[in-house]
Amino acid sequence: MAKATSDFDITFKEAARRTLLAHFDKMMSHLPGTRTGEQMEHLHQMRVGSRRLRAALSVFAKVFPKAEFRTLDKQIGDITDALGAVRDLDVQMDYLRGVRDPLPENEAYGLTRLIDQLSDERDERRKELVKALKRLEKERFAAHFRKTLDRAVPPPVGGEAAERMDDVAVPSEFKRAKQPNKGGKKATRPEPKSQNAKNAKEKEA
């Protein structure tokens, strides 16, 4: 039995390129907010993006030369670890505040001291995170990632627009069928040539 195919079928390398770029773009979109530290959500989302990117990288490792894969994996792993160190402390402090806040002041004292200690540790971890982000920029990580991916999986003809999943070629006869005719009525989809010939024979009969 023949395997069914469609316009949505893509190769392993095409899937690798689309998946890795999607997770890479998501991760990097939260870089400015993570750097400023004004909203914790940016740090959280960047960590999520980095973990998904690293997981996808391991799935599609075979499309890269081993040396280039190891370099990307280490860079993404380092930033994931730095993000995680800060994020984990945020989660711990948020939980402890929820436990402490309903308590009387004399009972909440110990938790307050613990939260203060965690906050000091977070400040140190955040300094390390900022250094890691600066290191990524110094190493031109974004450009390096894209160039490495381009070497492993060259972009399709037509550029980035051709990489989108919704950019699927539509048969020309279907496009014509969707256009209204001069009388303002919607045109019907043209019949196959074999069907036209059959109709002509029936009329002659």
Convert 115-179 into a string of H (helix), E (strand) and C (coil).
Answer: HHHHHHHHHHHHHHHHHHHHHHHHCCHHHHHHHHHHHHCCCCCCHHHHHCCCCCCCCHHHHHHHC
Q: Tell me the two tokens of residue 165.
A: 């999943």
Give the global pTM: 0.68
Question: Domains in the chain, start-ordered, CATH in brackets?
Answer: 12-163 (1.40.20.10), 172-204 (no CATH)
Summary count for the chain: helices (H), strands (E): 8, 0
Residue by residue, pLDDT tens for the chain (205 residues) are 444 444 445 789 899 999 999 999 999 999 999 999 888 899 999 999 999 999 999 999 999 999 999 999 999 999 999 999 999 999 999 999 999 999 998 889 999 999 999 999 999 999 999 999 998 888 899 999 999 999 988 887 655 544 444 333 333 433 343 444 444 444 444 454 545 555 554 555 5
Contact 27, 53 (CB under 8 A): yes
Q: What are the tens digits of pLDDT across the range 38-84?
A: 888 999 999 999 999 999 999 999 999 999 999 999 999 999 999 99
